[in-house]
Structure 1
Amino acid sequence: MEDKFQKQVSAFSKVLLSFLVLILVLFGGLYYWANRTPEPKIEDIPVEESTEDYDKIENGIHVATGFVDDEGMEATIQNCTSCHSAKLVTQNQMSREGWKATITWMQETQNLWDLGANEELILNYLAKNYAPTDKGRRQNLETIEWYELK
């Protein structure tokens, strides 16, 4: 009789323990959800997209990109600025061979597509408008009156 009683007590203990664990898990979850810090809400910032100035040229410069207005500018904008900023082009000065090598490098390593017939137009544009200049960082100082320090 005692053996049967002990089995019933043991079974009851297991059920009671399972019930207590369940209660603790539920209350723990409720406590977690009640006291968690809410994720910050990202508010949509309205972006004013204006297409009216996109084709605007001022003083021979395409306002939206900073490219020099010349034959091949549109093809260069379409093929170059779809992957990177126009500033990456306008800040560089390379020979035609340098630009060709850069395009080849982008095709081999950066997944640039085959430019087809546009390649010659783009190379002509870049070599003409973004070629190295003969000037250094500044011109030589020529009209300076030098004096000796004593």
Structure 2
Amino acid sequence: MTMTIVGGCLCGNVRYTCAEEAGGGHCHCNDCRKTSGTGHGSHMIVPEAAFERTGELRFFDKPADSGNMVSRGFCADCGSAICSTNSAMPGMVFVRASSLDNPDHFKPQMRVYTDRAATWDHMDASLPGFAAMPSAQDMPESVKAD
């Protein structure tokens, strides 16, 4: 049985449901740190076909260190970060764990850009860590796109 995951923005104008989760993790890259307002960004990776949203998002596009284009979506009214896409993983949506109605639905499987982690941002050391974005073959199975 598939669990439906729900979330949205601070003001309630953006709402979404995810019919399935493909995995996720914590990212310590400079961009995720800056857009999260803390030491890392936490994202669930969801197939685009399983992500349904209502409400208006605005997008900010910026190339990642890898050269891939990342498009970050946030509520047009309150500015809450909701999701992003990455040109390296077409068909997948990176949902901000901070936007979940029930944060316990987020089960991180890895940490990326650990070489850039802030010394004060302590993470679960049992999670696999990567100094940069891992190749598809090195990612945990649950995170890989079909």
Larger radius of gyration: 1
- Bin for the TM-score computed over the shorter chain: under 0.3
- From the two aligned structures, give the one with the greater strand fraction: 2
Normalised TM-score (structure 1): 0.22
Greater relative contact order (Cα 8 A, min sep 6): structure 1 or 2? 2
Normalised TM-score (structure 2): 0.23
